Structures are given as structure tokens and as C-alpha cells.
């Protein structure tokens, strides 16, 4: 079932063309990864999908869907006196004890983290909390804006594996921005290569070719298999 259709999307900001004629479709339970160099318009695409900026073209979401958003990072001082539990409680009435426990189970965190200060836990744990925050009210779609950029490769893979499992279990649609092509090729069901316009779009095995990557990044990017 199609949950999102984007047709001929263009964004002009301050007289500059940021995105030009972007088209894509995403179905329920799919994981679409957006790749491209810095300044390619990836975050701008997310802002348009969230109706945060003006755009031309069509963005058609399935009716009555709920969207969760995970930012790139949560910058917080180590001495900020807020615990994991207090962070979840900021979600209001939906943050019941039962729902918090279910959420921690989804993102594979132990309940002991509820007593820990947000500034004291690791970057990977903090990103899992952000995923949990976004999952609290059972969204249909999760937008993931380079949310593993500051985490080591094993942490990235662990978080994306968790998201992949949630996608399968909950029929959750995920749209994520990532720079790691190895992880993209493993977890994505679709890829869009973006540099202000569509340069390639489709199944990872078909579009992540040396020719497409050379056009996208201006130089071939190699794949390396991560060994554990």
C-alpha cells in the first residue's frame, strides 16, 4: 500500500534552486534511504515532506497518518539534570509507565536508563532514546535525519538493525538520510540518489552502481563489508 507519493517537487529558497523535480513513491513497511553529498538538499526534502517550507509540486501522504521524526543529534550538556524517564514524560499523557517500557523494548534499552541523566549516557543510547521518543504514539512513518552521523559504525549498524526489525514487526515506513553506503545496501528497500535532483532511484542492488555513485559524488565510492 502506497503511503507517500512525491511528484515533481521543487524548492526555491532565497532565489536558489535547492530541489528540482523530485519524484518518488514509498509503500507501507518500506525503508527508503536518501543519499547524496553535503548540500544536496536531503534535509530540505525532509522539511518539505513535513510541510515546514514552501514548495512546488505534489506531496501526497496517505490520509490520517502519524509521522515521527528523529533529528541528527540531541546536543545536551553533561550536567543537565534530566533523566531518561523525565525525557519520556515530556511527551505528556501518552508516556504511561507501560508505554515507556514497551518503547524501551522496541529500541532495545534496559529500564535502568530511565534513572540515568541524558548527558551521562552514550551517543548511541541517546539516539535510541530519540527513536523511542518518536515511536511513543505509534507513528506510521519515521523520518530519520542522519541520526547516526556521530556514532561509530557498529553503533550505526545496531540502531539501523533495530529500526529494520521495527519496520518489519510494526509495518513501519522509514525514510532515512545516511552517508554509509554499506548500511544503505543492507537495510534499505529503496534508495534515492539526490543532488538537488533525482540522479537515481530504485532498488539498492540496481542503483548503487559505480557509474551512479561517480555521478552523484564526483568520484567512485567503494563498498567495504563490515566484519564483526
Report pLDDT digits (tens) over 67-77.
998 877 666 65
- CATH code matching the domain that covers 1-65+140-228, chosen among 3.40.50.300, 3.30.300.30, 3.20.20.70, 3.40.50.720: 3.40.50.300
List average pLDDT for each run of 10 residues in the chain, which is 228 residues long.
94 92 95 91 94 96 92 65 91 94 88 90 84 89 77 71 84 88 83 91 90 80 44
Report pLDDT digits (tens) over 46-97.
999 999 999 999 999 999 999 998 877 666 655 678 899 999 999 999 999 9
Going from N- to C-terminal start, the domains of the chain cover: 1-65+140-228, 74-138
Contact between residue 191 and residue 204 where contact means Cβ atoms under 8 Å apart: yes
**pTM (2 decimals)?**
0.83
Using a 10 angstrom Cβ sphere, with 0-12 exposed, 13-18 middle and 19 or more buried, the burial of residue 202 is: middle
Using a 10 angstrom Cβ sphere, with 0-12 exposed, 13-18 middle and 19 or more buried, the burial of residue 76 is: middle
Amino acid at each position: 500500500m502506497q503511503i507517500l507519493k512525491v511528484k515533481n517537487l521543487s524548492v526555491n529558497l532565497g532565489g536558489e534552486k535547492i530541489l528540482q523535480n523530485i519524484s518518488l513513491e514509498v509503500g507501507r513497511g518500506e525503508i527508503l534511504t536518501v543519499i547524496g553529498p553535503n548540500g544536496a538538499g536531503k534535509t530540505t526534502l525532509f522539511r518539505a515532506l513535513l510541510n515546514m517550507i514552501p514548495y512546488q509540486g505534489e506531496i501526497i501522504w496517505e490520509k490520517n497518518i502519524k509521522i515521527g521524526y528523529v533529528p541528527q543529534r540531541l546536543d545536551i550538556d553533561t550536567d543537565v539534570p534530566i533523566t531518561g524517564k523525565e525525557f519520556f514524560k515530556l511527551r505528556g499523557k501518552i508516556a504511561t509507565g507501560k508505554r515507556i517500557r514497551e518503547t524501551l523494548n522496541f529500541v532495545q534499552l534496559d529500564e535502568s536508563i530511565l534513572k540515568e541523566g541524558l548527558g551521562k549516557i552514550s551517543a548511541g543510547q541517546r539516539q535510541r532514546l530519540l527513536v523511542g521518543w518518536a515511536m511513543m504514539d505509534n507513528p506510521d512513518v519515521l523520518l530519520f535525519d542522519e541520526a547516526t552521523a556521530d556514532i561509530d559504525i557498529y553503533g550505526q549498524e545496531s540502531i539501523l538493525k533495530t529500526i529494520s526489525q521495527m519496520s518489519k514487526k510494526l509495518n513501519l515506513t522509514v525514510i532515512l538520510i545516511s552517508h554509509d553506503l554499506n548500511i544503505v545496501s543492507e537495510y534499505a528497500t529503496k534508495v534515492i540518489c539526490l543532488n538537488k535532483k533525482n540522479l537515481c532511484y530504485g532498488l539498492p542492488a540496481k542503483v548503487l552502481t559505480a557509474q551512479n555513485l561517480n555521478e552523484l559524488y564526483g568520484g567512485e565510492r567503494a563498498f567495504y563489508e563490515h566484519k564483526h
